[in-house]
Amino acid sequence: MKIKQRSKKQLNKNLRWHSLVLLDKIENQNEFSNVVIDEFLQNTPLDERDNRLVVQIVYGVIQNKLTIDYYLAPFVSGKQLDDWVSTLLRLSVYQLVFLDRIPSHAVVNEAVQVAKVNGHGGVGNFVNAILRRFIRTDRLDIDAIEDFTERLSVKYSISPWIVDYFLKHQTHEEVENLLESLQEVPFISARVNTSKKSRKEVMESLYSEGYDTVESDISPVGIRSVNGNLIHSTAFKEGWLTIQDESSMLVAPLGHINGDEEILDACSAPGGKATHIATLLETGHLTALDLSQPKIKRVNEHMERLGLSQRVTLNVEDASKHQPTNGQLYDKIYLDAPCSGLGLMRRKPEIKYEKSYEDIQELAQIQTELINHVSTLLKPGGEIIYSTCTMSYEENEEIVQSFLNVHDNFVQSPISVEKDNVKSDLITDEGNIRVWPQQYHTDGFFISRLVKKDTEGIK
């Protein structure tokens, strides 16, 4: 997007302008919504109320992009628009359709001002005419779309191939429930650093600062914020908690770490599971790898804030080539593999449009390569905990099954309510964990545990 110097000056207090700049980075420069928004909030020239509206508009537009485009189509079809003008129209239509509190004249006036300053008078007139016509005209009826896939795709604003993909595996009703739940606002959840404080102590400390929290339904160390972003709390600053999705908190405990093991976290950044594993260690040691140097830096920052660095070695390294120091094998290996991230579509809605089925196939190859290699680094009797934050079968059950088919020295170690204290509705018939986003309003997640037979048979 071409941003003019005068726009920066004249529109510095215009929240629609800031929404437009952020959306342009996400939609046209492929940046992640959460990263772009965090950066904006650290240097914002706006007050608290306007910041909240910027975040709502940015997420709302991405969340509802296909629905908005469907409504806008009759007004812009056949017209050649610059990307930023399309985005400006989208964010205006989002406010007109989805937000009741904002008067339509305010939406139009602000959009026209942005169009004039960053474009010219002609662009302002064009935006004015389209939006006024949009307000006067009845909206298209989405429920009248005949094709079922297309109807769901427009209604829940998600790529048609994803709708079709889930329809192949689930009933119409299950798919609608899933898609509907992805449109809801995600919760902020956090994991208590139990090496410093109990969950009760952390919740009391938060309460004393005005944060209401509730216990997680699925993790004994998780809490959910009811009314605010916990990163501003004393508990966060003191390292008593870390922001993490509740389903992701299920991974580390599945290794039943007793405190003195040698552990590998093969793909560790940004460190949600690595910090959790480190809290469970006493004399043991964690080697945490990631391909990306900047991401390993973030893992290090988290470890330091939480006071866990002494138990951990962090390496920028390709896990598919990793060899342990002195050839010493690991007791437990966590492979939280790179994946298509379909389980994160509520939190990072751009995933709904950016991923393709080919991505799933490519990632499945990488996952296979990673699990094949790390399996050679495990002691007999040791365990691999394989996990992803995606919902595709090719990256989950099929990876595990194909691995077991060609590695007869490994067997599945089924996850159970009794042994693992995991809710029964999260455990599949094969003994894997599958968390669907609509079940507990968390990210979608998959976890499987495999054990390497020892010399006397299965552990």
Ligand X SMILES: C[S@@+](CC[C@H](N)C(=O)[O-])C[C@H]1O[C@@H](n2cnc3c(N)ncnc32)[C@H](O)[C@@H]1O
Among 124, 255, 270, 343, binds ligand X (CB under 6 A): 270
- Which residue among the candidates 389, 415, 450, 451 is catalytic per the annotation? 389
Cβ 93 to ligand X shortest distance, Å:
34
Q: Using the rule CB under 6 A, which residue among 28, 137, 292, 376 binds ligand X?
A: 292
Q: Does 332 bind ligand X (CB under 6 A)?
A: no
Active site residue 339: no
Query: How many other C-beta atoms are found inside a 10 Å radius of the C-beta of residue 375?
Result: 19
Complex with ligand X: residue 211 or 446, whichever CB lies closer: 446
Q: Is 271 annotated as a binding residue?
A: yes
Stretch that binds ligand X, among 75-83, 199-207, 318-326, 403-411 (CB under 6 A): 318-326
266 is in an annotated binding site: no
Site residues for ligand X, 191-250, by CB under 6 A, read: 248
**Which of 357, 364, 361 shows the shortest CA–CA distance to 386?**
364
Among 170, 194, 320, 402, binds ligand X (CB under 6 A): 320
CB of 223 to ligand X, least distance (A): 18
Partners of residue 188 on adjacent β-strands: 225
- Provide, rounded to whole angstroms, the least separation between the CB of residue 443 and ligand X: 11
Burial label for 394, CB within 10 Å (0-12, 13-18, 19+), is: middle
Indicate the residue among 343 and 382 with the shorter CB distance to ligand X: 343
Which residue's CB is nearer to ligand X, number 24 or number 246? 246
Told to check if 291 binds ligand X by CB under 6 A, we report: yes
Residue 253 or 270: which CB sits closer to ligand X?
Answer: 270
Task: Report d(CA 262, CA 378) in Å as an integer.
Answer: 10
Choose one: 27-35, 47-55, 291-299, 375-383; the region binding ligand X (CB under 6 A): 291-299
- Do 309 and 240 touch, CB atoms closer than 8 A? no
Task: Choose among 351, 381, 355: nearest CA to 454.
Answer: 381
Q: Which residues contact 337 (CB under 8 A, 6 or more apart)?
A: 267, 363, 366, 367, 370, 371, 386, 387, 388, 395, 399
User: Beta-carbon neighbour count of residue 62 at 10 Å?
Assistant: 23
Under 8 Å CB-to-CB from 388, ≥6 apart: which residues? 336, 337, 339, 343, 367, 395, 396, 445, 446
Our finding on whether 395 is near ligand X (CB under 6 A) is: no
- Residue linked to tokens 């009797």: 381
Minimum CB–partner distance for residue 252 and ligand X (Å)? 9
Give the chain's radius of gyration (CA, Å).
Answer: 24
d(CA 89, CA 72) in angstroms, rounded, equals 8
272 annotated as belonging to a binding site for a ligand: yes
- Separation between Cα atoms, residue 407 and residue 425, nearest integer Å: 29
Q: 33-42 and 15-28 are packed helices; what angle lies between their axes, rounded to 10 degrees?
A: 150
Instruction: Kindly state whether residue 36 participates in binding ligand X, applying the rule CB under 6 A.
Output: no
- What does the block give as tokens for 48? 């608290």
Q: Is 319 a binder of ligand X (CB under 6 A)?
A: yes
Question: What minimum distance in Å lies between the beta carbon of 399 and ligand X?
Answer: 14
What minimum distance in Å lies between the beta carbon of 229 and ligand X?
19
Distance CA 109, CA 102 (A): 12
Q: Which is nearer to ligand X, 69 or 397 (CB)?
A: 397
Stretch that binds ligand X, among 41-49, 72-80, 314-322, 433-441 (CB under 6 A): 314-322
Residue 318 marked as a ligand binder: yes
104 is written with which tokens? Answer: 């339509």
Q: Is 318 in the site for ligand X (CB under 6 A)?
A: yes
Nearest Cα to 366, choosing from 340, 393, 392, 397? 340
Q: Interface with ligand X includes 412 (CB under 6 A)?
A: no
Among 108, 267, 400, 450, binds ligand X (CB under 6 A): 267
CA distances in angstroms from 323 to 183, 257, 279, 327, 331, listed in the order given: 43, 22, 24, 7, 14
255 binds ligand X (CB under 6 A): no
Q: How far is CA 378 from CA 198, 384, 452, in A?
A: 32, 8, 8
Interface segment toward ligand X; rule CB under 6 A; list 168-176, 267-275, 423-431, 446-454: 267-275
Q: How many chain residues interact with ligand X (CB under 6 A)?
A: 19
Kindly state whether residue 444 participates in binding ligand X, applying the rule CB under 6 A: no
Binding-site residues for S-adenosyl-L-methionine, in ranges, read 267-273, 290, 318, 336
Where on the chain is the footprint of ligand X (CB under 6 A)?
248, 267-273, 289-292, 295, 318-320, 336, 338, 389
Which residues are tagged catalytic?
Answer: 389
